[in-house]
Structure 1
Amino acid sequence: MKPPPPPRSLERLRELTPARVGLGRAGISLPTEALLGFALDHARARDAVHAAFDVAGLASGLTAFAMPPVQVASQARNRRDYLRRPDLGRMLDPRSRRLLESRGGIAGQLAIVIGDGLSPTAVNLHAAELLRHLIPRLAADGIETGTLVIASGARVALGDEIGAILAARMLVMLIGERPGLSAPDSLGCYLTFAPRIGLADAARNCVSNIHGAGLRYDEAAFRIAWLIRAGLARQLTGVALKDESGAQTPPRVAFDPGV
């Protein structure tokens, strides 16, 4: 028997969120359509984790920035090692370390790292486009962008070692976030002032949920640029630096009391 249509308020709510709300039921179970949708989203999330990191395509998309990217890798030799040994994704392999050491001290105020993380799909889709919105904002603020790095097999903390070698005052790391059932392609941005090995996550700021149904490129770039500017001025990032940029941006969705 076909489940009854959801109330109008639930239909409106579905328009505002990709979350699973008001799915209905068939007996004591989910309707077939909802169950198949769950299975499909779960498969998409798994595929995102194991997707190939398109380093060549990403590097080609970054040529407009006049900053040829440096390609490095962590000690995770393959995706299996990466998933089973998170510690390997936090350390550069010897060749990559030597390569960056040969460029040490020229990063300027800012170094940008693009890592595959837990969703190479997100990075392939969104990283270059986000930078197209971010770089002009930084230039307008007089913030010098130094070395651009593409890191394979990367965890967030890999940026600490990269930033320390490059003597960066601020590190920006764009990385694929753990895929969810509603967002297999979510990109995150982690900001670290004076990066060095051994920093706790409390020393970083994060702007997350950057994807087509989440945070828009222009809004994400605005928030990231604000945090970079404030972090450099105050010489810190993390729990001591609160994102106060929200009051300067229009609300994404207006509240409708009729819902």
Structure 2
Amino acid sequence: MSGIEPSFWEELRRSTQARIGLGRTGDSLPTRRVLEFRSAHAAARDAVHMPLDVRALAAQVREIGIGEPAVVTSQASSRAEYLRRPDLGRVPRDLSSITTGEFDVGLVLADGLSPRALMDHGAGLLAALVSELSEQYSLAPPVIATEARVALGDHLARAMGARTVVVMIGERPGLSVADSLGIYLTHLPAPGTPDSGRNCISNIHPPDGLDYARSAHIVARLISGARELGASGVALKDTSRAAEVEAEDTLTID
């Protein structure tokens, strides 16, 4: 690496958030790179431990107009216990605030391992999902879940009466991205559903990651496929990009 011009790495860094071409000073990294690493590590730790501002998020969700958001917490009594006991994050403490009915889709906003990601992107992603789904499917009033793991959505879906649950959840922060959201989609969810029964869309954090509209489009395609197949997970594939490629090829041929 020492023989490569610094401008080469600068050009590559503009196209990735990965930590590449860091250089060296003797047997160590340059001081600048060490400080950048420590800053990224601190941001990742802060994202995990940042408390979710439920009131502010609920106000943003309320403005989207699909009902008053319910707030549910898991059986983890604190953030520290949530991190030590993933099993407690999968089970709700109380479901009395959930609106029960019969809905095609239930939408859950969960803090997960990055409450910061949910605060930064949750409302925007929810709005995109509502815009994409509301004309074709009935949507349950949204739920905000704290100290939550993905499987908590199975219990919430049963309480809502939702055939498909879409859980938007803060992903584990890394040294490149601390505010990334993931979506986990489960069709016909029930407590005890294995991870193989879910579809995941990850790395949602515009402008550097997947954007809201594209994520919502993929979700819509997956829901359509799950309803046709009668299942989600490993048996269900995202064909949204393939359809776009076919359309592009048709336009090129024409």
With the length of structure 1 as denominator, give the TM-score of the two structures.
0.88
The 5 A counterparts of 1:124-139 are 124-139=119-134
Between the aligned partners of 1:151 and 1:79, the Cα distance in structure 2 is 13
Please say if residues 110 and 169 of structure 2, whose CA atoms lie closer than 8 Å, have aligned partners that are also in contact: yes
Answer with 225-234 or 214-223: which moved more: 225-234
Helix, strand or coil: the match of 2:162?
coil
- Whether contact under 8 Å (1:6, 1:24) holds in the other structure is no
In structure 1, the partner of 2:86 is 86
* Identical columns (%): 46
CA deviations 1:171-218 (Å, max 9, x no partner) are: 000010000111000001100001111111010001110013111112
Q: Does 2:48 align with 1:54? A: no
Name the CA distance, whole Å, in 1 between partners of 2:45 and 2:88.
Answer: 21
After superposition, the Cα gap between the structure-2 partners of 1:113 and 1:158, relative to the gap in structure 1 and judged at 3 Å, is same
- In the other structure, the counterpart of 1:205 is 199
Secondary structure of the corresponding residue to residue 238 of structure 2: coil
Q: 2:231 aligns with which of 236, 247, 252?
A: 236
Give the aligned partner of residue 160 of structure 1: 154
Per the TM alignment, residue 13 of structure 1 is displaced from its structure 2 partner at its CA by 1.8
CA–CA distance in structure 2, aligned partners of residues 62 and 18 of structure 1: 30
User: Is the Cα contact below 8 Å between 1:134 and 1:221 reproduced in 2?
Assistant: yes
Partner of 1:150: 144
Listed one character per residue, the Cα deviations across residues 82-110 of structure 1 (whole Å, up to 9, x for unaligned) are 111111101111xx22333xx33x14101
Larger mean Cα displacement after TM superposition, 128-137 or 31-40: 128-137
**CA positional deviation for 1:232:** 2.0
Instruction: Give the corresponding residue for 1:35.
Output: 34
Q: Which deviates more from structure 2 when the two are superposed, residues 119-128 or residues 218-227?
A: 218-227
Q: Give CA deviations for 1:139-198 in whole Å, capped at 9, x if unaligned.
A: 24x111113111111000101111122221100000100001110000011000011111
Alignment of 1:173-212 (within 5 A): 173-212=167-206
Q: What are the superposed Cα offsets for residues 204-244 of structure 1, whole Å, 9 maximum, x if unpaired?
A: 00111001311111211211221122212222110001111
Q: Which amino acid aligns with 2:238?
A: D
Counterpart-to-counterpart distance in 2, 1:158 and 1:83? 15
| One-letter amino acid of the structure 2 residue matched with residue 27 of structure 1 | G
User: Contact 1:107 / 1:166 at 8 angstroms: preserved in 2?
Assistant: yes
What secondary structure, in the 3-state scheme, does the structure 1 residue paired with 2:182 have? strand
**Pair 1:170-2:169 in alignment:** no
Measure, in 1, the Cα distance between the counterparts of 2:123 and 2:92: 23
